[in-house]
Chain A
Amino acid sequence: MQFFGVPFTVFGDDSLQYLNTILGKRAFIVTDRNIVSLGLVDLVGAELKQANIEYKVFDEVEPDPSIETVVKAAGIAKDFKPDWVIGLGGGSSMDASKSTLVCYAAGIGPLDLAPSTFYDLRATAKLMCIPTTSGTGSEATWAIVLTDVAGQRKVSLGSYETLPDIAILDPRMVMSMPPQITGDTGMDALCHAIEGYVSTWRSLFTDGPGLMAIKLVFENLKKAFDNGKDEDARKAMMCAASMAGTSCTNGMFGLGHSTGHAIGGLFHTPHGRAVGLYLPYTMEYLINGSEETAARYAEIARFCNISRDNDDKKCAKALVDAVRKLAKSVGQPLAFKDTNIKREEYIKQMEGLIDRSINELMTSAISRVPESEDLEKLFTYAYDGKPVDF
């Protein structure tokens, strides 16, 4: 038995106007202060007012949102009694909104969410996500990533009930995104799409959005990075991010994400930059040990006109080269030594990096599951910028 879920998705110019058509009394907007200062909450609020929906803003979501932040948001929501919870922002705000809905509507703690339990969250409130970046794809996924601050680790949670009902992709929300965030988040989208396409949890339904997302990222990320005013590139990247999210949430993420999460938990490297950095190393690792995955990478390379070679491995390696080339062109570090983390500091955390990676769900959804020894080598190679040869 497999499922395929996708939110009702509104996209293109003036998509926010769709808010005029929704029915409800109160909306609880979960966001961060930067989004408020950019005036994006006002854009959403204006549309809600036209729909006669009262709204309250919780703007305390931090990057890598903590369990405590979500509990606080849910407490406020409980008093406000919204029938809509709206996640507005990047992945952090959208993930926090999903968890807020869970805690508010089910009356449980964030970590108590059990995917096999039906909570009937919609009896209390519906969920909408409006992204302001193009990468996380959280608007199209049921995944929630929170940070256990005390344990210095990211916790992945989710249930089919945390898939948003509606996703609104309005290009106005991403036009002011600075190049660095455009690059970071765009690499996240690419990572989602590639990992979803080769995941052992994939299905025939996930292949289409995954492939299209990869093609769109290769064709548009650099354009959006170089010229943030390029509306066509921005729109294409918004769609790519959502398609990539659809692909990986109905399939699964992979080793680039589990290693990237470990890095994020311990070194607070921005999510997209971390997973984008580790993606090519983990791809090489899979190519070296899994013909099945090498063949899937080759399909991607051929679909995106990166290589037409008949040899799957050569094609797959051409894809890895293309990923690195794209990453470099959008200001991404290609080795962890290029960040400001010293080698001794990195090596000192090796045990934690391995423990966190090996206990990520994504690590089990790939065709070559690494043990601790291989993970240690992978982390070392990625720090030094050495192509993976094992």
Chain B
Amino acid sequence: MAVFGTIEWAKAFMEAINASKAYEDAATTWEGDFYFILEPGGAVKEPGYQYVDLWHGKCRKVDVVTASEKDKYKPEFILQASIATWRKVAEKKVDPIQAIVTRQLKLTGNMGKIMRAVKAAQELVNCVTKVQTEYPE
């Protein structure tokens, strides 16, 4: 069991992605890296920046940095939400694209590119569900 937003969780997520044939098939042409930002609130005192580099159906790198280290990466996409929203997406209670459209999940980056990779986005969420996750309460 890994706590969401920690490097242990990020590494488990990377393993889940790289073990997923469904994600690999859906994201064969995908090239793009992300910051998944956990907004402060409740048990989350400081914003957390989780870096995920996705390339041709595989995850090449993950990292977790603090707000003061955020310039370490310049990802193409940023997705930002509260822990409650991340949990709803991870537990498939809300579709990730629906969360973006309803502004629960804030996206910075080329929406057109994301909208051409809907299947890959869904498979990515399927990978999240495979990680034994504990959420900061």
**A361: chain B residues within 8 A (beta carbon):** 97, 115, 118
A-B contacts, 28 listed (Cβ < 8 Å): A1-B104, A2-B102, A3-B102, A110-B112, A111-B113, A112-B111, A112-B112, A114-B100, A114-B109, A116-B100, A116-B103, A116-B105, A116-B108, A117-B106, A117-B107, A153-B116, A155-B116, A159-B101, A358-B119, A359-B115, A359-B117, A359-B119, A359-B120, A361-B118, A364-B97, A364-B118, A365-B95, A365-B98
A158 touches B117 (CB 8 A): no
The A95-136 residues at the B interface (CB cut-off 8 A) are 110-117
Q: Which 4 A-B pairs have the closest CB atoms?
A: A111-B112, A116-B106, A116-B103, A116-B107
What chain B residues lie within 8 Å of A156 (beta carbons)? 115
A189–B59 Cα distance when bound, in Å, is 42
Report if A114-B107 is in contact (Cβ < 8 Å); known contacts: A3-B102, A364-B97. yes
Tell me the bound Cα distance from A1 to B84 in angstroms: 12
A360 at the interface (CB under 8 A from B): yes
Closest to B119 in A: A358
Which A positions have Cβ atoms within 8 angstroms of B?
1-3, 110-117, 148, 153, 155-160, 200-201, 252, 358-361, 363-365
Which residues of the partner chain A approach B105 to less than 8 Å between Cβ atoms? Answer: 116
Q: Give complex CA distance A387, B111 in Å.
A: 36
B111 proximity list for chain A (CB < 8 A): 111-115, 157
A357 shortest CB reach to chain B, Å: 10
Residues of B within 8 A of A2 (CB): 102
- A310–B113 Cα gap in the complex (Å)? 45
Chain B residues lying within 8 Å of A160, measured Cβ to Cβ, are 103
Total residues of chain B contacting the partner, CB 8 A: 25
Alpha-carbon gap, A160 to B104, bound state (A) = 13
Tell me which of B97, B98, B116 has the highest count of chain A C-beta atoms within 10 A of its own C-beta: B116
Residues A201 and B95 in contact, CB atoms below 8 Å apart? yes
Q: Which residue of A lies closest to B99 (CB)?
A: A116
Question: In the bound complex, how far is the Cα of B113 from the Cα of A156, in angstroms?
Answer: 10
B60 to chain A, nearest CB (A): 22
Measured CA separation A229–B101 after assembly (Å): 40
Q: Is the CB of A114 within 8 A of B98?
A: no
**Contact call A155/B115, Cβ cutoff below 8 A:** yes
A159 to chain B, nearest CB (A): 8
Q: State whether A115 and B112 are in contact (beta carbons under 8 Å apart), knowing that A359-B118, A360-B118 are contacts in the complex.
A: no
- In the complex formed, the residue of B with least CB distance to A201 is B98
- Shortest B86–chain A CB gap in Å is 14
Indicate whether B133 reaches chain A with its CB closer than 8 angstroms. Answer: no
Which partner residue on chain A sits nearest B79 by CB separation? A116
Cα(A358)–Cα(B119), bound, Å: 6
Q: Which residues of A contact B118 (CB under 8 A)?
A: 358-361, 363-364
Is B110 in the interface zone, CB < 8 Å from A?
yes
Contacts of B26 in A (CB 8 A): 358
Residues of chain B contacted by A158 (CB below 8 angstroms): 101
A2 to chain B: closest residue by CB? B102
